[in-house]
Amino acid sequence: MPPRGLDPSGVVLVDKPAGPSSFAVVRDLRDRTGARAGHAGTLDPFATGLLLVLLGRSTKLAQRFVGLDKRYLTEIDLTARTSTGDREGEVIDEQAPPSREELERRLEDLRGEVDLPVPAASAVKIGGERAYRLHRRGEEVEMPVRRSTIHSLELVEYDGRTARLDLLVGSGTYVRSIATVLSGHCRSLRRTEVGPFHVDDADPERIIPAEEALAALR
């Protein structure tokens, strides 16, 4: 008999709704299947879209999936910045939104290799403690800057206040940081792709064998 929790094994593509944390989605699959489980890249509770959950023996393959590029659709409110870079934070600055021409110029500066501040409400450790815990206690800390790769960043729609963007970014890029640099905050965030995997193929009932999932990476 195999050790407890190693089966079933494979990768599950989940279309996470807004509200639950990534951990809650993982916990649900763990409880439902009886297998150990973990995700390959978290999504904020307010965000939706593709979450890769690894089950059983496949959890040891996490590093093969964590570093994949990711595609997002986001709506950024350019009238105000918030403390978290999203709609759940407190407004800390308000301003008139830019013209379309000015917005296009700002977007051009964000393509390629860029240095972005890590959001205060993130899981990065500062002095051995998660940044979001320090943020919740109201402690102000200097957040590190992270080199990020933005492969593509396209303006899909702009109504003079809210910009809808389609972006393909390297692993570890915070879309909330991009919103903050643009002097706005994310109203919505949806992950549509992780490497070769697409949210349209999400099915929480289907466990993709590890061999099939790894073959898609080649």
44 classed as catalytic: yes
Residue pair 139/131 in contact by the 8 Å Cβ criterion: no
Catalytic residue among 15, 28, 31, 44: 44
Separation between Cα atoms, residue 18 and residue 49, nearest integer Å: 9
End-to-end C-alpha distance for the chain, whole angstroms: 33
Catalytic amino acids?
44
